């Protein structure tokens, strides 16, 4: 048998083919090829395996050794045949840090294939039986964190075996960031990872980003417009929120290479711990508010970006909120402090940026375009607010093509165009107001009487 297709008995209680950078597999075996290339890259490029395994909570030092196999076969299991092919894990990795060994099974899907619950349950049981610590799944489905999973499973099965998920886009983005940041010391390893990225970037790899909302999206938008009552457990609501969660993660991954830094979702602690609670809470919010919301955190930005998809109005907004500078007393001074931070846009870009002034108490919230406020800073006031300077500002851009909003693919295209545009034109330039440091006050000595 050729070396490229040799199944070996490992020292870890299973048989498998060593993961290879150039696997010898059939042209249509995209999953086998993808897993082999990925696992081979993890073994070959130290910085890449360090980043990826640390995303699962495992520190990887210079002395740590990673072994990887594909087409895993356990003792007393047949290695070939259609039925056995479906049950055979796509891969396995073994991390030896010198002090302990950590083992994980790997299952992957490409193109539009989704992870199968029964297959996943089978892998979890077999992982437990054969002493594996985790199961890692890879697909074009997105999750907020590797600890969250697109398939809900019985929690009893994950008490002894951890379950993680990577999207292909997440894996690709991490590799691209390493290459762009010159974060790989060894020139050969840099070249290898560059070739891996080139493969997964191609259409033939089966790697896809999130491109469209769920099938019920258009009908749900129409129901929200007619103010119909929504059921928080209905498929149309649950599937919409699930799609929204995937799109949130896709947005973060699209921003990473643009800002060359990790971009994350801002989630409550309870939602980080429990993705089921996150899904349930967001379903309730959608039913009550007819809106989908998200907060994205860019490192060192003045504030999180809040994205709102209003299904009733059919409008998407991307906004940031800043406190007004308290050391400037007038409305004009506070507005100028903000508008001077944002460069003048080309081709009427300032007319797309809106600024809302918020005030304490019951004063009205007023809004004007950036272009209007450049010309007249006090235009933000009306008769009822003239003597009440703003305490904070909301700066936003919106996509208001109602027809496109209802299209499951067009909606995603609008959103993925709006958010980077807002950050580039507005968000990256904003600076939060910081109170000046207090001054030392010296007592004035009294002069003695003559």
pLDDT tens for residues 354-402?
A: 999 999 876 678 899 999 999 999 999 887 777 789 999 999 999 999 9
Q: What is the pLDDT of residue 99?
A: 84
Q: What is the pLDDT of residue 274?
A: 87
Q: What is the pLDDT of residue 28?
A: 85
Q: What is the pLDDT of residue 2?
A: 47
The rounded mean pLDDT for the chain is 90
Pairing of strands 162-167, 264-265: unpaired
Q: CB–CB of 292/241 below 8 Å?
A: yes
Q: What is the pLDDT of residue 379?
A: 93
Nearest to 88 by CA among 103, 73, 76: 73
Q: What is the pLDDT of residue 83?
A: 47
Structure tokens at 408: 């499951």
- Where are the domains positioned within the chain? 3-205
Q: What is the pLDDT of residue 363?
A: 67
Q: What is the pLDDT of residue 81?
A: 46
The structure's pTM equals 0.78
Q: How far from 386 is each of 297, 330, 364, CA to CA, in Å?
A: 34, 10, 11
Q: What is the pLDDT of residue 367?
A: 93
Q: b or e along 26-44 (b: 16 or more beta carbons within 10 Å of the residue's beta carbon)?
A: eeeebbbbbbbbbbbbbbb
CA atoms within 13 A on the CB side of 231: 4
Q: What is the pLDDT of residue 305?
A: 98
- Phi/psi region, residue 364 (left: phi>0; alpha: psi -120 to 50; beta: rest), is beta
Q: What is the pLDDT of residue 61?
A: 84
Q: What is the pLDDT of residue 1?
A: 41
How many Cβ atoms sit within 10 Å of the Cβ of residue 287? 17
Nearest to 60 by CA among 43, 39, 41, 79: 43
Q: State whether residue 48 is helix, strand or coil.
A: helix
Positions in the chain short of pLDDT 50: 1-3, 81-83
Q: What is the pLDDT of residue 252?
A: 93
Q: Which residue is listed with tokens 């006050």?
A: 441
CB-neighbour burial class of residue 446 (10 A; exposed 0-12, middle 13-18, buried 19+): exposed
User: Each residue of 331-361: pLDDT tens digit?
Assistant: 999 999 999 999 998 777 888 999 999 998 7
CA–CA–CA angle 35, 65, 163 (5° rounding): 50
């Amino acid at each position: 048998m050729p070396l490229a297709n040799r199944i070996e008995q490992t020292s870890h209680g299973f048989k498998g083919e060593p993961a290879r950078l150039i696997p010898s597999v059939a042209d249509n075996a995209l999953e086998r090829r993808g897993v082999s290339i990925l696992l081979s890259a993890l073994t070959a490029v130290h910085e890449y395996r360090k980043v990826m395994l640390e995303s699962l909570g495992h520190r990887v030092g210079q002395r740590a050794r990673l072994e990887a196999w594909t087409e895993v076969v356990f003792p007393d299991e047949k290695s070939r045949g259609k039925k056995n092919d479906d049950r055979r894990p796509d891969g396995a990795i073994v991390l030896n840090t010198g002090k302990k060994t950590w083992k994980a099974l790997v299952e992957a899907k490409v193109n539009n294939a989704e992870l199968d619950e029964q297959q996943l349950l089978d892998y979890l049981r077999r992982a437990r039986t054969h002493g594996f610590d985790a199961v890692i799944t890879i697909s074009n489905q997105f999750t907020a964190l590797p600890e969250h999973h697109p398939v809900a499973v019985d929690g009893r099965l994950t008490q002894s075996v951890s379950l993680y998920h990577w999207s292909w886009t997440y894996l690709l983005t991490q590799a691209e960031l390493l290459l762009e940041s010159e974060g790989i010391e060894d020139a050969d390893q840099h070249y290898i990872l560059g070739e891996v990225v080139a493969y997964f970037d191609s259409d033939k790899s089966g790697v896809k980003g999130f491109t469209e909302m769920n099938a019920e999206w258009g009908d749900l938008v129409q129901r929200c417009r007619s103010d119909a009552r929504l059921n928080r457990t209905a498929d149309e609501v649950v599937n919409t929120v699930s799609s929204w969660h995937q799109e949130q993660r896709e947005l973060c991954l699209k921003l990473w290479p643009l800002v060359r830094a990790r971009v994350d979702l801002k989630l409550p602690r309870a939602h980080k711990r429990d993705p089921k609670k996150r899904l349930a809470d967001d379903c309730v919010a959608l039913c009550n508010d007819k809106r989908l919301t998200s907060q994205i955190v860019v490192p060192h930005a003045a504030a999180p970006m809040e994205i709102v998809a209003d299904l009733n109005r059919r409008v998407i907004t991307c906004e940031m909120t800043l406190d007004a500078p308290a050391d400037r007393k007038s409305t004009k001074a506070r507005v100028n402090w903000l508008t001077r931070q944002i460069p003048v846009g080309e081709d009427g870009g300032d007319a797309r940026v809106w600024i809302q002034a918020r005030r304490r108490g019951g004063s009205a919230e007023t809004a004007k375009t950036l272009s209007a406020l450049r010309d007249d800073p006090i235009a933000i006031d009306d008769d009822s607010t003239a003597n009440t300077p703003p305490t904070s500002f909301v700066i936003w851009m919106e996509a208001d093509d109602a027809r496109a909003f209802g299209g499951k693919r067009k909606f995603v295209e609008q959103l993925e165009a709006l958010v980077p545009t807002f950050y580039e034109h507005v968000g990256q330039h904003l600076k939060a107001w910081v109170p000046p440091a207090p001054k030392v006050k010296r007592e004035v000595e009294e002069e003695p009487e003559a």
